[in-house]
Amino acid sequence: MSILVVGSVAYDTVETPFGTAERVLGGSASFFSVAASFFVPVRLVAVVGEDFGEEQLAAFKDRPIDLEGLERTKGKTFHWGGKYSLDLNSRETLFTDLNVFEFFKPKIPAAYRTSEAVFLGNIDPVLQRQVLEQVEKPQLVACDTMNFWIDGQPDELRETLRQVQILLINDAEARELSGEWNLVKAARAVRKMGPRTLVVKKGEHGVLMFTDEGCFAAPAYPLETVFDPTGAGDTFAGGFLGYLASAGEQGDAALRRAIVVGSTLASFCCEAFSLDRLLTLTRREIDERYREFQDLTRFESL
């Protein structure tokens, strides 16, 4: 199975208590693609400007990431700036220079139309639907969104959610989308909107997944040094969907393994700026940390 991803490829300028990274590679589709490429071939649909360099492109080379859908147009690449609090638990967006992303109309190359899995990154829900319309019968459709679209385009978002099987959002977004403060109630309401599987990300407090079978909880890996959490959510999604697409089945047991694979990849993402840690990561390191997750959550019957 190969995954088509649509989202942002960006330059990020990030300030953390440990330092600043200027104009480094970022964007939801970048983190997603590299994480998913450990498991399945990825087809990347995004836009960059004339200033996007070979050095940044190198991140995608030598991996099964197809770049035919990465459009390059006149103008500057999307540039996002964020600053983290001392405990890294909250962040402030300093600027969002949309640049070429403002006029982004995803064009799906003919070779991508038979993609079996699709990840709709956090973009306008109307564009998310246009992507789906250009793909023939995908077996697996997962989606991300954010407060900006929940508040700004609620009807369009609802229409998109009707066509999605798996929604990955954070706890604040689940509350906002459902109008319910309690996450169990929020999940019930969101699942009625379309996605049979809802994954609620809670940062350093881990993940909750709601399916027809019930609820599954996984902690975040207890990292000794969290350096930069930017992209952790997208990296989680890439590991989760990449593993799921490679598993060849989407039952509850596979979904649970995918949650832990996503958490594993996200923990590595936080160890360095940008995609730096993901780019040196090996399959063996992923497997080792996955096993540590098993130990972390194993307990006996009373």
Can you give the binding site for ligand AMP, defined by CB under 6 A? Answer: 8, 10, 12, 26-28, 80, 96, 122, 230-234
Residue closer to ligand AMP, measured from CB, 79 or 289:
79
Cβ 271 to ligand AMP shortest distance, Å:
14
Residue closer to ligand AMP, measured from CB, 75 or 252:
75
Cβ 114 to ligand AMP shortest distance, Å:
26
Residue 74 phi/psi, 5° resolution?
Answer: -60, 140
Cβ 28 to ligand AMP shortest distance, Å:
5
- Of 281, 263, 275, 282, give the one whose Cα is nearest residue 223: 263
- What tokens were used for 203? 């940062």
Torsion sign over Cα 45, 211, 243, 14: positive
Residue closer to ligand AMP, measured from CB, 69 or 231:
231
Cβ 253 to ligand AMP shortest distance, Å:
27
Cβ 98 to ligand AMP shortest distance, Å:
8
Q: What is the DSSP string of 102-131?
A: GG------GGGTT-SEEEE-SS-HHHHHHH
- What tokens were used for 112? 């991508």
Residue closer to ligand AMP, measured from CB, 1 or 129:
129
Residue closer to ligand AMP, measured from CB, 28 or 56:
28
Q: What is the DSSP string of 76-92?
A: PPPEEEEEE-TTSS-EE
- The separation between CA 235 and the C-alpha centre of its own chain, rounded to angstroms, equals 5
Residue closer to ligand AMP, measured from CB, 8 or 128:
8
Cβ 39 to ligand AMP shortest distance, Å:
19
- What tokens were used for 123? 């973009």
Give how far Cα 172 sits from Cα of 113, 157, 168, Å: 34, 16, 12
User: What is the SS3 assignment for 147?
Assistant: helix
